[in-house]
Amino acid sequence: MYISILPLARSLHPRPYTYSVSELWAEQIVVWGLVEVPIGKYVERGVVASIENEIDKNIEVRPIVSVISSTPLLTTTEIAMAETLAVRYLLPVHKVLAFFLPSPLLARLEKRNYIFEEKGSWRDHKEKRKKTIHQYLDSIYTPADADHMREEWVVFCLPDDFFLYAFFTEEKEKNILTIPHEATTTRKAQSWIDAREGKYEILVWTRKILYYNLSRYKRLIYVEDAFGAEQYQYPYRIKNLDILRSLTDSSDIDITIISSTPSLELLANFRDF
DSSP for 54-121, please give it: ---TTS--EEP-EEEE-S--S-HHHHHHHHHHHHHTT--HHHHHHHHS-HHHHHHHHHTTT-------
- For the segment 161-185, the average pLDDT, to the nearest whole number, is 81
Strands 131-135 and 254-259: parallel
CA nearest neighbour of 101 among 16, 7, 14:
7
Nearest to 6 by CA among 102, 104, 96: 96
Share of the chain above pLDDT 70, in %: 93
- The pLDDT assigned to 118 comes to 78
pLDDT at 38: 93
197: left (phi over 0), alpha (psi -120 to 50) or beta: alpha
- Reported in sequence order, the residue ranges of the chain that DSSP labels E, i.e. its strands, are 2-7, 17-20, 34-39, 42-52, 62-63, 66-69, 131-135, 154-157, 176-178, 202-205, 219-223, 230-233, 236-239, 254-259
Taken in order 188, 130, 74, 82, the sign of the CA dihedral is negative
Give me the pLDDT at residue 61, please: 87
**Greatest Cα-to-Cα distance within the chain, rounded to the nearest angstrom:** 65
Question: What confidence score (pLDDT) does residue 125 get?
Answer: 55
Instruction: Please compute the mean of the pLDDT values over residues 44-64 and round it to a whole number.
Output: 85
Report the pLDDT averaged over residues 27-56: 89
At 58, the pLDDT band (50, 70, 90 cuts) reads confident
Q: Is the pLDDT of residue 123 over 80?
A: no
Averaged over 126-142, what is the pLDDT? 84
Q: How many CA atoms lie within 13 A of 233 on its CB side?
A: 14
Q: Which range has the worst mean pLDDT, 37-41, 57-61, 73-77, 249-253?
A: 57-61
Cis check for the bond before 235: say yes or no (omega within 30 of 0): yes
**Per-residue pLDDT tens over the stretch 176-199:** 898 888 889 999 999 999 999 989
Whether the per-residue pLDDT at 266 is higher than 60: the answer is yes
| pLDDT computed for residue 1 by the predictor | 86
Residue 84 CB contacts under 8 Å (≥ 6 apart), including other chains: 246, 249, 250
Beta-strand pair 219-223/254-259: parallel
pLDDT at 143 (0 to 100): 85
The answer to whether the pTM exceeds 0.85 is yes
Give dist(CA 245, CA 240) in Å, integer: 9
Confidence check: pLDDT of 92 > 90: yes
At residue 228 the predicted structure's pLDDT band, cuts being 50, 70 and 90, is low
CA 176, chain centre distance (Å):
19
pLDDT above 60 (res 169): yes
Which among 222, 194, 196, 199 is positioned nearest to 210, based on CA atoms?
A: 222
Amino acid 171: pLDDT = 58
- In 10 A of CB 246, how many CB atoms? 21
Task: Pick the more confident residue, 82 or 121.
Answer: 82
Predicted confidence (pLDDT) at residue 221 exceeds the cutoff of 90 = yes
